[in-house]
Amino acid sequence: MTLLERFSTRKTFGHGIHPIAHKEATAELAIRRLPFAKQMIVPLAQHLGAPAKAIVSVGQEVVRGEPIAEPGGFVSVPMHSPVTGVVKSVDRLVATSSGPKTPAIIIDTYAASDQKVLFEGAVDIWQLTPKKLVHAIQDSGMVGLGGAAFPSHVKLLPPKGMSIDKVIINGCECEPYLTCDHRIMLEYTDKIILGIQMVMAAVAAKRAIIGVEDNKSDAFEMIQSKLPKDGSISCELVETKYPQGAEKMLINSLLNKEVPSGGIPAEIGVAVYNVGTMAQLGDLLPQSRGLIERVVTVSGYGVNKPGNYLVPIGTPLRFVLEQVGLKDDFSKIIMGGPMMGMTTASLDVAITKGVSGVVVLAPQSFENEKPQAYPCIKCGACLSACPISLNPSMLGQLAMVRDYGTMEGGYHLNDCFECGCCTYVCPSNLPLTQYFRIAKAINRKIKVKEL
Amino acid sequence: MDELTSNLIAIGFMAGLGLILASILVLANKRLFVYEDPRIDDVEELLPAANCGACGSPGCRPFAEGLIDGTFEPSQCTVNAKESIQNIANYLGVDAGEANKRVARVACAGGNHVALIRASYKGLNSCRGAALVSGGGKGCVWGCLGMGDCGAVCDFDAITMDDYGLPIVDEEKCTACGNCVDICPKDLFELHSIEHQLFVACKNLEKGKETETECEVVCTACERCVVDSPEELITTSNNLAVINYEKNSLASPIAVNRCPTGAIVWFDNKGGYRTGKAGKKIIRKEPLPIG
């Protein structure tokens, strides 16, 4: 934290970067619904943790909102049918944007159906015990909609000896291009507040703080005007800076506390949720529905009609791009934001629960072609960019000599959450984040081998 | 005191100090002496000092210790020259043993002339890096990415990339140290006895004809090789043909000729392998277009 930041009233964390936001194309556009695709692809592993298990069979007719897969363990959630249709296959391997092919349920949509959600039943959520409320959250198939897709109910059941007294709601949306959370805050404000109250009831938390970056002051004012009068929920502006929306950075900004190295936010009594997750919870739980659609920002140079679209989960990416119109010249399609998202190699991947955006970037030109990497000049730019104060320069040099053990043991590699700040600022164009991802993958492989 | 006396005192003092310290060292050498078999050093001299770990011990010295106490046989060091192995055996008066030479084999035959590339990867020039970006862009997500991470980690220069972006293992140079097994992001390398000549060069877990659109030499689990394999030598599991190497003596090149795609190969142990009739049909020399 620089001296200037220390005296500033805006809450923030130390280090970080300021990438160009590119949000103007979609920030003013209201959320619109996309039509249903002819065929839906619902991968069974859309979330972190154990994949779900299919409970439907080939040829079975399913109704929109009907559960089609059950959780495969505690850290897992069920899946619900995004359309009324017939199950074509339950175990076909489909491409994913992360690489390996995973089994998915394929559903052919009934074109003539009115696509009403028939699987629902009103419940009085305030009568439920906290335990049942957590169960209801798992049954709704809810995962973190900010991008990590971590099952939401798991954060509400912290390990023994920890308890949650504060809930932090993440409305930062620091990734360039993405505006889905911004629109959700403006359009579904009441549902966000309702969702927060339910989560607070589930863990008996006394306080909830919504953090909103100060480039979204309209959303901040909208939330301020609808906050409950008892003062249990508050909304605060934080500095517009990347990666403000990272869980550990937002906790640091709002509470001035640090999550211990290798630890989870529950260790300091905090659970962090995305505003999109809260809006969906506020919508789904009172009707005991399942998560079947989400808001996705489709933006970037190569998109003819950029916007914030309500997309059924399982819609093939090819269909989404047909609807919004894809230009012929583009360089890559990124699932998620450009900083932490994954470039996809196939258009046959599905929009899953964790996809917050689809960004189609401009073709490679002389100005933005892949620059040549030069040796590290020890300028320290990465050190003053790394939000968790690691030493990316040293880590990068260790990666080049493949000393992955020292990276983990001596330089806290596992605390890196791959935000990409070091790669963004490096004047030698070193692919540092890529090195760290490789190092982590190899360390994981070695650990599995040793077991 | 004149200069001579002070010099004498200094010399005498230093000599005395040296004597005392030397006697402590002599004492320590007697008291704290650890007997080490002198043969360990001699045997270590005869080992290649590559510290590759192919024998199963952490390095050459632990292997030498193992040789002395009989836990290893000299031939288990696959890197060593035949004469050195015999020299060690003669020196220790033991049998050299008959270690089966093992080599690394690549379970992918889908070079860029037969396998479809969906998207071109631009970035860190390493398979590990490419695999992190949507699997690397190859149509078959199990297939070789062809950037040669395996060649870069091989300490014995046994792996080279061919014209189609596939690693070729030089069986003469390969010591089965396992470096390539660890580095490959797609887990394509397997260590095999050189006698395992029949080999399934594919890891595609998908079933059916559709998989052939992504690679022409894919194993589609058609089970033609299974039908006339003796005593369940070949079975299928996870949509792949699996060879039971316990029945390796029954293996013959018949299965290779049965394969309609050329996914099963027969290593001739002369540095190459041959495929069946179907595999020979592929005469394309140019890479497939990206799409």
pLDDT for the residue numbered A308: 95
Residue of A345, A370, A402 with shortest CB distance to B134: A345
> Alpha helices, DSSP H only, in A30-158?
130-139, 152-155
pLDDT tens-digit profile of B134-146? 888 888 999 999 9
Residue of B nearest to A401 (CA): B153
Residues of chain A with pLDDT under 50: none
B133: confidence class by pLDDT, cuts 50, 70, 90: confident
How do beta strands B264-267 and B273-274 pair? Answer: antiparallel
Which CATH number applies to B102-280?
A: 3.30.70.20
Contact A101 B185 (CB under 8 A): no
Is A68 exposed, middle or buried, given 0-12, 13-18 or 19+ CB atoms closer than 10 A?
buried
- Report CA-CA distances (Å) from B208 to A121, A435, B212, B217: 42, 37, 8, 13
All CATH 3.30.70.20 domain ranges in chain B, comma separated: 102-280
- What pLDDT sits at residue A262? 87
Contact B132/A364, CB-based, under 8 Å?
no
- pLDDT grade, residue B79 (50/70/90)? confident
Q: What is the pLDDT of residues A198-232, one digit of tens each?
A: 999 998 899 999 999 999 999 999 999 999 988 89
Residues of B in contact with A96 (CB under 8 A): 134
Phi-psi region of B137 (alpha: psi -120 to 50; beta: other; left: phi over 0): left
Q: What is the pLDDT of residue A8?
A: 61
Chain mean pLDDT for chain B? 87
For position A6, what pLDDT does the model report?
A: 57
Residue A7 parent element (H or E): helix A3-7
What are A's interface residues with B at a Cβ cutoff of 8 A? 93, 95-101, 332, 342-346, 364, 370, 402, 431, 434-435, 437-438, 441-442, 445-446, 449
Residues near A273 by beta carbon (within 8 Å), at least 6 away in sequence: A144, A152, A155, A167, A168, A169, A170, A196, A199
B123 closest CB neighbour out of A98, A431, A446? A431
Q: CA B73, B79, B82, B87 torsion: positive or negative?
A: negative
CA distance A255 to chain B (A): 34
pLDDT beyond 60 at B66: yes
Task: Return the pLDDT at B172.
Answer: 85
A20 CA to centre of own chain: 20
Query: How confident is the model at residue B151, as a pLDDT?
Result: 92
pLDDT at A279: 95
Q: DSSP secondary structure string, A384-448?
A: TT-TT---HHHHHHHHHTT-HHHHHHHH-GGG-----HHHHH-TT---HHHHHHHHHHHHHHHHH
Short-list B180, B83, B205, B53, CA closest to B128: B180
pLDDT at residue B70 greater than cutoff 60: yes
- Quote the CA–CA distance of A282 and A270 in Å, as a whole number: 20
Tell me the C-alpha distance between A86 and A93, whole Å: 18
B3-7: average pLDDT:
91
How far off is chain B from A101, nearest CA to CA, in Å? 7
Which fold would CATH assign to domain B38-92?
A: 3-methyladenine DNA Glycosylase II; Chain A, domain 3 (1.10.15)
Residue A165 CB coordination number (10 Å):
13
The mean pLDDT of B82-107, rounded to a whole number, is 84
Residue ranges matching CATH 1.10.15.40 in chain B? 38-92
CA dist A211 and A238 (Å) reads 6
Give the closest of B123, B138, B206 to A93, CB-based.
Answer: B206
Instruction: Say if residues B103 and B191 touch (Cβ distance below 8 Å).
Output: yes
Looking at residue B271, what is its pLDDT?
A: 73
**pLDDT at site A121:** 80
Between CA A117 and CA A65 the distance in angstroms is 6
Sorted by where each starts, the structural domains of chain A and their CATH numbers stand as 32-119+290-361 (3.10.20.600), 121-287 (3.40.50.11540), 392-450 (no CATH)
